[in-house]
A = this chain, B = another copy of it.
Amino acid sequence: MGPDQRSSPTAINPGSQSALRELNEERILAMLRSHGTLTQAALARSTGLSTATISNIVKSLVATQRVETAPTTSSGRRAMGVSIIDAADVAVGIDFGRSHVRVVLARAGFHLLGEDHTALPVGHRAEESISIAASMLKKLCANLGVDHTQLLGAGIGIPGPIDHRTMTVIRGAILPEWVGINIESQLQAALSLPVFIDNDANLGALAQVTWGEHQESSNLCFLKIGSGIGAGLVLNGSLYYGSLGITGEIGHSTIFNQGLICRCGNRGCLETVASTGVIIDLLSQSEGTPIGIEAVIERAQSGDSATLRILGDVGAAVGHALANVSNLLSPEVIVIGGPLAPLGELLLEPIRRGLFRHAIPIIGENTVVRMAALGDRAEALGASALVLRQGQPRQI
């Protein structure tokens, strides 16, 4: 029996009805605080309250300016999304990349307050990017009128697998400058905030189920294709860390037994055939001049046959690796992120074909593959979600 059903007129006096209503309001606000925008249907499912009760309470919360509603899409369908308005508490999300730092500020309930982005040279020192992030945060707070006391903490994204036994980036990572550094103490000192650290692929996955379109997925795989290839897994509604914290290393699935040597020490890994570096190298060679990832996307969109052939091969290899993931984990949805996301169907189509070729039929037919919609911001937004999502953060 849902608590709302107890409010029958004969059983309970008006005093306890209002107490019950407050309790139900609190449950709805708590769900919105930890999950971001939710549809009324999702709120009903997750709280056990009836849709009539939900609709009633949401109306009164809108009137008292504690939540707001806006049109959204839920698994591709139009719906009305409900989000919390909770002015005081602010979460920081920082995404450290190979050649950038991005800082976002977000209010509880997943409202983006502001963001900043700085380009950095590849190979910059970790300490340098930490100090840049700290001054970006200071400036952002000043511009937005956010006081340091309002900050709940900072979620931090690092583009490399983190060994949870030592909380350091492991050797062989795409960002050698961060290997072996005590990230936690340096960041806490620089930011004067509690920090929550995770790798970029995990944060991309978390962003999909909080800021993204997949709030209702319990089992989601986010595959980031960049200079490295790695996945973040949401399983049974939570980020999955396994025994070492090093998970989702799909980039090192062997695709060609006699393939090229990979930076991990093995050969024929997915990364040696499908990373952005490989795509750029192949196309630059035939051009005789180095080209950027934007040019790859333009050429594909204008129908250049060499580019499309390479993307076909990349998709086949990625689909093969994702078939193994799907056969093993049966996720509802796989989301592809990273700089190739603007390619849309041009890359999704060969990925789906590869997945379908290598997965058992019932899994191939039922696994949805989508491009990430959050763009470059996914990791920083996911980092702020680490802070906003109660119970989810792993404070170190």
Contact A329 B240 (CB under 8 A): yes
Contact A252 B360 (CB under 8 A): yes
Give the interface centre of A246, A320, A357 by most chain B CB atoms within 10 Å.
A246
- B238, B324, B330, B362: the one contacting A253 at CB < 8 Å is B324
The 0/1 profile, CB within 8 Å of B marked 1, for residues 362-378 of chain A is 11001000000000000
The 0/1 profile, CB within 8 Å of B marked 1, for residues 263-302 of chain A is 0111000000000000000000000000000000000000
A219-B243, A235-B235, A242-B219 known; A328 and B361 CB under 8 Å? no
Task: Give every chain B residue within 8 A of A218 (Cβ-Cβ).
Answer: 243
Task: Give every chain B residue within 8 A of A362 (Cβ-Cβ).
Answer: 163, 170-171, 244, 246
Interface size in chain A (residues, C-beta < 8 A): 47
- B231, B244, B359: the one contacting A366 at CB < 8 Å is B244
Task: Give every chain B residue within 8 A of A357 (Cβ-Cβ).
Answer: 266
Copies per complex of this chain: 2
The answer for the CA separation of A130 and B233 in the assembled complex, in Å, is: 39
The answer for the CA separation of A170 and B327 in the assembled complex, in Å, is: 14
The 0/1 profile, CB within 8 Å of B marked 1, for residues 147-189 of chain A is 0000000000000000100000011100000000000000000
Task: Give every chain B residue within 8 A of A264 (Cβ-Cβ).
Answer: 360-361
Task: Give every chain B residue within 8 A of A358 (Cβ-Cβ).
Answer: 253-254, 266
Is A323 located at the chain interface by the 8 A CB criterion? yes
Task: Give every chain B residue within 8 A of A382 (Cβ-Cβ).
Answer: none
Task: Give every chain B residue within 8 A of A331 (Cβ-Cβ).
Answer: 242-243
Is A245 located at the chain interface by the 8 A CB criterion? yes
Q: How far is the CB of A151 from chain B (nearest CB, A)?
A: 28
- B265, B360, B361: the one contacting A361 at CB < 8 Å is B265
Task: Give every chain B residue within 8 A of A329 (Cβ-Cβ).
Answer: 233, 240, 242, 247, 328
Contact B328 A249 (CB under 8 A): yes
Contact B236 A330 (CB under 8 A): no
Contact A249 B363 (CB under 8 A): yes
Other contacts beyond A243-B331, A321-B324: 8, CB < 8 A = A233-B329, A235-B236, A235-B240, A244-B362, A244-B363, A250-B327, A253-B327, A328-B329
Q: List 8 A-B contacts (CB under 8 A).
A: A163-B362, A219-B243, A233-B328, A244-B362, A248-B328, A250-B327, A265-B361, A328-B328
